[in-house]
Amino acid sequence: MKFWTTSLMVGWLLAVAATAATTNAVAPVTDRDFYNVGTQLLTDKKYAEAEKMFLSALAMQSEAIQPIALFNLGHARYAEGAELLNKGPDAQKVKTQGNALLAEGERVLVNGEAALAENNLEKMISSYIEGRGVQKELKRAEKVVQSAMETYGKTLAKWQRAADDFTGAAELNSADTNAQHNAEVVRQDLAKLIDSLRQMQQMANAMGKQRQDLGKLLSKLKGQIPAPNAPPGSAGEEDDEEEGKEAKPGTLAGKEEKAGSEGQESATPLSPDQAGKILDGISVDGSRRLSMSDKQGTPPKDKNGRNW
């Protein structure tokens, strides 16, 4: 069987797809219907809807449809993950700002301990005010990092399934070199994504620890500053200081789908640290996305080339 790409297929498949796409009068019933509606949705960049159609086609277990449905399902899931990345925080910006904030926090910690050692009231007040500011900025930064980690966790799940889909398509059609090639490229992107998550985890952990250290410093400074000299508003800030003392990196439930359970995802913990260099994470732009043929029924001309 000739390998088909993400475009609508030749012959009878085209006729069914044209009817489904243009009139929407008849709901998909057969595996061919689901496949063709899904492929049209994929062409229209409605990836989540396309995924559902391909899963419905696969559920009917047609030997003729399964390889091409799996291939297109891999395209849909990869594109879904790429969309999630594009909507997430800017990686480089988060990295740069996070590192600058950690450096500022370290400076405040050093100066604060020095002020305590010198018993210099003016320096203690200055360190207290600076420490409060950095502590609040760290709290906000941790939320951004955790949001990025959650986005990357969801992308990880989609790309893991996409790699499995392409591999499955290649196993069902041993002549399909494009599917196996796509599976390998997705796995390479997954490796980069996982590395970025680990680096981000390190940054989130560093932020959490520094916030704890600042909380302890602020408590010591506050204890040495006479009430008449206390900075404005410090009397009502005990809760934040306690949070700084006890704050521990939490976990985010990223998504990792179970192998062999089509369409189902199970939670896998992603520690907050995986925030730092998600910022450095892989960039998904037009050159990295899965390509789709613009000619109906036309497979890639270069079967051994990069199908991206």
Kindly give the parts of the chain with pLDDT less than 70.
Answer: 1-25, 233-308
Q: Residue 240 belongs to what H/E stretch?
A: helix 238-246
Q: Which amino acid is at 224?
A: Q
Say what the pLDDT of residue 230 is. 84
DSSP conformation class of 265: E
* Domain residue ranges in the chain: 1-64, 90-270
Say what the pLDDT of residue 201 is. 87
Helix (H, G, I), strand (E, B) or coil at 17: helix
What is the phi/psi pair of residue 226, to 5°? -60, 145
Q: Which amino acid is at 91?
A: A
Say what the pLDDT of residue 91 is. 74
Nearest-5° Cα angle at 213, 211 to 214: 65
Helix (H, G, I), strand (E, B) or coil at 267: strand
What is the rounded CA–CA span in Å between residue 187 and residue 296?
28
Q: Are 200 and 276 in contact (CB under 8 A)?
A: yes
Specify the length of the chain in residues.
308
DSSP conformation class of 97: H
Say what the pLDDT of residue 234 is. 61
DSSP conformation class of 277: T
Say what the pLDDT of residue 246 is. 42
